[in-house]
Structure 1
């Protein structure tokens, strides 16, 4: 057979294989079926991999398990060369080949798998020269197979988007209008989401915000993944700028502490990966029944609202622990809060700022320890007599009388405002 005849035969075989692959695109097949057909018909090893060379589907044709192990070894031992080939194929958006470097080596062809404008994976074929079709024919087959893989993955994406939209609409019904709908409807929505409508649940809301730009979808995706993997019992929904987790459980303090720790872990991850972005989380109280899920969501959102207004508070706030801040947050103008704080404690704050004293911190510890000099001293790492002296001095500087109920209450509220606004009202 002449070289031209061989080339014609290779091309004829490649066209026939492309036709078979095209017919598979109209069926409900998967990536494993595509690589199996490519490997079996073209006499090569085939795999679908992601950017990190993690294998998503693999087949070694007639080589069986041994061939699969050898292909995995090729991808691992020549990872740098394969990575460079993948990077170049991604840049050029077309299939590229890497010839065999020796008698025992294999040649590689990499074709990017594009779903719309997104490059989601790569189809890799490998084989010895004696086992493979001509290089041009294999490039054609690999590129066509990658297109079929893109059709399959695109179909999956459409189904996933549709399912996700339906899931989100059901979840929105529970968290947004659950308390204004029929109990039977709320219970049905919950069952469709795999939620026990009679169980006790609480809601964790994580909101991403930035002063300079809208939250990156990658940031909310990361938070959603972190919560879902670390709290598998939760129903987690990504609602663009916020991630909502519905967590089964009662009044267990351990669960509240666990969710608070998880929210803080998410916050640290967001800060590290997305500079300038801030995560604020709120935890609602536990409530029983599907129709009350919206109540816990509303509480979690109110806790988030307090965190957004009172920037000096923790970025993770439980509704049950808000105290007077639930009322203070109803004053939407921070200027009004600042004015009240300065009216009550302005002289004391100015004295601290000018002289480097810490009378406001001492008063905060004293009031939060219910007026106990001993406990406040332990918290401040000083002597009770020192705390008593500082409280007396703060009283005189501020022009207040702490034996007066109204003065004492006003000072406590003003301190909560000062600390909630970051100490700079």
Structure 2
């Protein structure tokens, strides 16, 4: 009878597990489907309405609404589904109060089973007065994050008291991540459309004012062709030279020259300083600035702006002063340049985001989903041949800068780059891991202009996550050893693998217990520093005077400590074989302590 009941319980548990897995699969399938539908939208208003509608359906709550942060820090409701009161649909929350403020401050989900009775929240009358009419009781909020910036909060609410399960919170959080990306893309597209509309207005203004209709039509057609064919700075510079003569120089957002075109027989403009002075004027006024230099050359500069950001400049140098039509042409070309830069940045950002997502999928799960495998193949990446993983760490630069440089070189290594767990990471193909590590370190060092550590590891099978753990811990070991600028492999630091390989932690514990256990136990019981004394002794090559100075103790104190070490370990502890094992044990003990301190500190 007992066996029968146990069998029934087991079958019931198995059935519940199968049901749970099927529900999770349906939820994830729905999540991917809604994420794809969001990615296909463009208008901000349409995206907002779609987000709350899908959230409402995905979680199955009575109410779903989304509030965005404005410039003053207020949370303003931007879209809702399931609400019944007009006042709630137009609600706003001032800074520093309510569940939304809690989510924004922590950048993490937060929920209460009964909002009106929740004592953990700072209630605001302006919002609390709306709760009874809407019948709001249980409330869950998750942040909408664009990078590290919170742009709003997505809420799910019920009109009955209940807790929110972990799966619901995780599902809404995952959906919010996709929604934030879609919302940010819609914002970028809207800025591009605004810029395009302004460009079209500029086109009309130039067409009305330019004295030569044929010339204006030719410029208009040529610039439009540049936009439609995906041209670049060199194409715009060439077009301007054809119509304005002289020398046209294009600078990027960092004031670096990206293109120079000269009319036939016209030398390149060698004098950059006057252009820089004019650039400051053009950036501050938003109009083209011109001046004649001491060499008789007239230089005109138009700043490239889009969405309130400085994206570069166009400059014209020639002996004749530009007329108003020339100025308008230069300004118009600068606007076109801004649109091209925005389009290029949007493409690059989208591609880097996709590559980063693929990298995360490869490291977070195995095997890879077939859809992700196809996305990788579409970018020329065969995930089955990504046999090397590297981690790069540059303390002077954020991980995103390092990732951007890795993305630039990833095609030549048939690889994928991205940020994983706060680390700049790349999967690639390489026959010689050490040579790849050296080459990529040298390239990144030149591109970043700062020292960095880079560690590569050969991936065994599909153990990419293990390779990531080894590489990032090896970086910490290298830094603890005093390395600041080097490209290496985990194999080159195999001597210290006991420290950075989690699978060998038991071997390390056993080795340290065998060699240092007596000293460590004595230090713990007597609050002494025999292990530190041993480390200093070996660090000073056995020189007693230097050891005492390093420890800031009297020679007699040092001799007493060394005598005690001899009593505990045996008088032969300084013999070559014993000293070698003890020295290695002390060094590994110090390195592990350094790694443990790094792991317990704030994420970098």
TM normalised by structure 1 equals 0.62
| Among 254, 259, 270, the residue aligned to 1:56 | 259
C-alpha displacement of 1:125: 1.9
Query: Superposition pairs for residues 171-186 of structure 1, below 5 Å?
Result: 171-177=359-365, 179-181=366-368
Q: Taking structure 1 as reference, are residues 423 and 238 closer, same or farther at Cα in structure 2, changes over 3 Å only? A: closer
Q: Taking structure 1 as reference, are residues 147 and 329 closer, same or farther at Cα in structure 2, changes over 3 Å only? A: farther
Structure 2 segments unaligned to the other structure (5+ residues): 1-206, 507-511, 543-558, 574-578, 598-604
If asked which structure has higher relative contact order (CA below 8 Å, sep 6+), I would say 1
Q: Taking structure 1 as reference, are residues 147 and 207 closer, same or farther at Cα in structure 2, changes over 3 Å only? A: same
Q: Taking structure 1 as reference, are residues 137 and 305 closer, same or farther at Cα in structure 2, changes over 3 Å only? A: same
C-alpha displacement of 1:101: 4.4
Aligned match of 1:358: 537
Aligned match of 2:387: 201
1:83 aligns with 2:276: yes
| Among 569, 582, 586, the residue aligned to 1:400 | 569
Separation (CA, whole Å) in 2 of partners of 1:328 and 1:343: 25
1:191 aligns with 2:386: no
The superposition leaves residues 289-312 of structure 1 with CA deviations (integer Å, 9 ceiling, x where unpaired) of: xxx2xx235313333135448962
Aligned match of 2:434: 256
Once structures 1 and 2 are overlaid, which stretch shifts more, 78-87 or 231-240? 231-240
On the 8 A contact 1:175/1:297 being kept in 2, the answer is: yes
Separation (CA, whole Å) in 2 of partners of 1:152 and 1:39: 19
Aligned match of 2:521: 343
On the 8 A contact 1:203/1:297 being kept in 2, the answer is: no
C-alpha displacement of 1:232: 3.9
User: Which secondary structure does the structure 2 equivalent of 1:13 belong to?
Assistant: coil
C-alpha displacement of 1:114: 1.8
On the 8 A contact 1:236/1:243 being kept in 2, the answer is: no
C-alpha displacement of 1:256: 2.1
1:324 aligns with 2:504: no
Separation (CA, whole Å) in 2 of partners of 1:119 and 1:362: 58
On the 8 A contact 1:14/1:140 being kept in 2, the answer is: no
Q: Taking structure 1 as reference, are residues 311 and 168 closer, same or farther at Cα in structure 2, changes over 3 Å only? A: closer
Separation (CA, whole Å) in 1 of partners of 2:244 and 2:538: 81
Q: Taking structure 1 as reference, are residues 143 and 309 closer, same or farther at Cα in structure 2, changes over 3 Å only? A: same
Q: Taking structure 1 as reference, are residues 101 and 139 closer, same or farther at Cα in structure 2, changes over 3 Å only? A: farther
Once structures 1 and 2 are overlaid, which stretch shifts more, 154-163 or 34-43? 34-43
Structure 1 segments unaligned to the other structure (5+ residues): 1-8, 332-336, 364-389
Aligned match of 1:13: 211
| Among 366, 391, 398, the residue aligned to 1:215 | 398
On the 8 A contact 2:388/2:427 being kept in 1, the answer is: yes
Aligned match of 1:127: 318
User: Which secondary structure does the structure 2 equivalent of 1:238 belong to?
Assistant: strand
On the 8 A contact 1:305/1:329 being kept in 2, the answer is: no
C-alpha displacement of 1:192: 2.6
Query: Superposition pairs for residues 287-302 of structure 1, below 5 Å?
Result: 287=460, 292=462, 295-302=463-470
Considering only aligned residues, what root-mean-square deviation do their CA atoms show, in Å? 4.9
Separation (CA, whole Å) in 2 of partners of 1:176 and 1:41: 55
Separation (CA, whole Å) in 2 of partners of 1:343 and 1:142: 78
Aligned match of 2:228: 27
Aligned match of 1:95: 288
On the 8 A contact 1:344/1:410 being kept in 2, the answer is: no
The superposition leaves residues 257-315 of structure 1 with CA deviations (integer Å, 9 ceiling, x where unpaired) of: 65157548857987x749xxxx5544222446xxx2xx235313333135448962457
Aligned match of 2:189: none
C-alpha displacement of 1:201: 1.5
Separation (CA, whole Å) in 2 of partners of 1:222 and 1:421: 33
User: Which secondary structure does the structure 2 equivalent of 1:324 belong to?
Assistant: helix
Separation (CA, whole Å) in 1 of partners of 2:243 and 2:333: 12
TM normalised by structure 2 equals 0.46
Separation (CA, whole Å) in 2 of partners of 1:10 and 1:411: 84
1:284 aligns with 2:457: yes
Q: Taking structure 1 as reference, are residues 219 and 94 closer, same or farther at Cα in structure 2, changes over 3 Å only? A: farther
Query: Superposition pairs for residues 122-161 of structure 1, below 5 Å?
Result: 122-129=313-320, 133-134=322-323, 136-161=324-349
Aligned match of 2:355: 167
Aligned match of 2:588: 416
On the 8 A contact 1:283/1:319 being kept in 2, the answer is: yes
Separation (CA, whole Å) in 2 of partners of 1:185 and 1:394: 67
User: Which secondary structure does the structure 1 equivalent of 2:229 belong to?
Assistant: coil
Aligned match of 2:301: 110
| Among 230, 233, 237, the residue aligned to 2:413 | 233
Separation (CA, whole Å) in 2 of partners of 1:209 and 1:201: 27
On the 8 A contact 2:247/2:260 being kept in 1, the answer is: no
Give the length in aligned residue pairs: 346
Q: Taking structure 1 as reference, are residues 344 and 236 closer, same or farther at Cα in structure 2, changes over 3 Å only? A: farther
On the 8 A contact 2:393/2:475 being kept in 1, the answer is: no
Separation (CA, whole Å) in 2 of partners of 1:159 and 1:100: 39
